[in-house]
Chains A and B, each alone.
With several copies, the nearest count.
Chain A
Amino acid sequence: MTSPTVPRPPVRLERVVIRFAGDSGDGMQLAGDRLSADSAAFGNDLATRPDFPAEIRAPQGTVPGVSSFQVHFADYDILTPGDRPDVLVAMNPAALKANAADMPPGATVIVNADEFTRRNLQRADYATSPLQDATLGRHVVHQVPMSSLTRGALAGSGLSRKDAERAKNMFALGLIAWMYGRPTAGTETFLRRKFADRPELAEANVTAFRAGRNYGETTEAFATTYEIAPAELPPGTYRQITGNTALALGLTAAGQRAGLPVLLGSYPITPASDILHELARHKEFGVLTLQAEDEMAGIGAALGAAFGGALGVTSTSGPGLALKSEILGLAVMTELPLVVIDVQRGGPSTGLPTKTEQSDLLQAMHGRNGEAPLPVIAPRSPGDCFDAALEAARIALAHRTPVLLLSDGALANGSEPWRIPEPDDLPDLRVEFATEPNAPDGSGAFWPYLRDRRTLARPWAIPGTPGLEHRVGGLEKADGPGAISYDSANHERMVRLRQAKVDGIEVPDAEVEDPDGRADVLVLGWGSTYGPIGAACRRLRARGLPVAQTHLRHLRPFPGNLGAVLRAYRQVVVPEMNLGQLAGLLRAAYGVDVVSRSKVTGQPFGAEELADALAPVIEGEKGEPA
Chain B
Amino acid sequence: MTTTGLGMPGGHGLDGVPPADRPQAAKDYRSDQEVRWCPGCGDYAVLAAVQSFLPELGLRRENIVFISGIGCSSRFPYYLDTYGMHSVHGRAPTLATGLAVTRPDLSVWVVTGDGDALSIGGNHLVHALRRNVNLKILLFNNRIYGLTKGQYSPTSPPGTVTRSTPLGSVDHPFNPVSLALGAEATFVARALDSDRAQLTEVLRAAAEHRGTALVEIYQNCPVFNDGAFDAVKEPRARVQRIVPLRDGEPVRFGTQGEYGVVRDLRGGGLRVAPVAETGADAVIVHDTAADDPAQAFALSRLDRGDHGPVVPVGVFRAARRPAYDDLVRRQAAGSGGGGTLRDLLRGRDSWTVQPHRRNTP
Show the binding face of A for B, using Cβ within 8 Å.
14, 25, 37, 40-41, 43, 55-60, 62, 64-65, 74-77, 186, 229-241, 249, 252-253, 256, 261, 263, 265, 267-270, 273, 276-277, 280-286, 288-310, 312, 319, 326-327, 329-330, 334, 349-350, 419-423, 463-475, 483-484
Complex contacts, B152 vs chain A, CB 8 Å: 291
Within 8 A of A (CB), among B124-175: 124, 127, 145-149, 151-152, 154, 163-167, 169
The 10 closest A-B pairs by CB, nearest first: A300-B94, A473-B86, A301-B98, A76-B361, A304-B98, A304-B95, A471-B84, A57-B38, A294-B120, A305-B98
Given the complex, which residues of B lie within 8 Å of A265, measured CB to CB? 94, 98
Flag whether B339 is at the interface (Cβ < 8 A): yes
Question: Could you tell me if B88 and A471 are in contact, using CB atoms closer than 8 angstroms?
Answer: no
A297 touches B94 (CB 8 A): yes
A55/B36 contact (C-beta < 8 A), A229-B359, A288-B332, A463-B65 known: yes
Judged by a CB distance under 8 angstroms, whether B34 is at the interface is yes
Cα of A496 to Cα of B36 in the assembled complex, Å: 28
Q: Sample 25 A-B pairs with CB under 8 A, ordered by A number.
A: A55-B72, A55-B75, A230-B359, A235-B355, A237-B350, A249-B345, A253-B345, A263-B101, A268-B151, A283-B167, A288-B102, A288-B329, A291-B165, A300-B93, A304-B85, A306-B98, A307-B65, A349-B88, A420-B345, A423-B342, A463-B64, A464-B62, A464-B106, A466-B62, A471-B31
CB distance from A244 to the nearest CB of B (A): 12
User: Contacts A263-B101, A273-B163 known; A469 to B350 CB distance under 8 Å?
Assistant: no
- Residue-wise, chain B 309-350 has the 8 Å CB interface mask toward A (1 for contact) of 000000000000000000011011001111111101111011
Extra contacts besides A235-B357, A263-B102, A299-B94 (9): CB < 8 Å: A40-B349, A273-B151, A284-B336, A285-B339, A297-B123, A329-B88, A423-B340, A463-B62, A470-B83
**Residue ID in chain A nearest B333 by CB atoms:** A283
The yes or no answer to B255 lying at the interface (CB within 8 A) is: no
**Chain B positions within 8 Å of A483 at CB level:** 33
At the interface, yes or no: B67 with Cβ under 8 Å from chain A?
Answer: yes
Bound CA span A58–B346, Å: 36
CB distance from B294 to the nearest CB of A (A): 25
Question: Inside 8 A of B360's CB, which chain A residues have their CB?
Answer: 76, 232
Q: A298 CA to B360 CA in the complex, in Å?
A: 48
Partner of B88, one of A273, A277, A319: A319
B10: Cβ under 8 A from any A Cβ: no
Residues of B that sit less than 8 Å from A by CB: 31, 33-39, 60-65, 67, 70, 72, 75, 77-78, 81-91, 93-103, 105-106, 119-120, 122-124, 127, 145-149, 151-152, 154, 163-167, 169, 223, 328-329, 331-332, 335-342, 344-347, 349-355, 357-361
Does the CB pair B119–A288 fall under 8 Å?
A: no
Contacts of A64 in B (CB 8 A): 34, 36
Q: How far is the CB of B104 from chain A (nearest CB, A)?
A: 10
| Residues in A whose Cβ lies below 8 Å from that of B89 | 319
Please, which residues of chain B bring their CB within 8 A of the CB of A253?
341, 345
In the assembly, what is the distance between CA of A526 and CA of B149, in Å?
Answer: 30
Taking the closest CB of chain A, its distance from the CB of B140, in whole angstroms, is 14
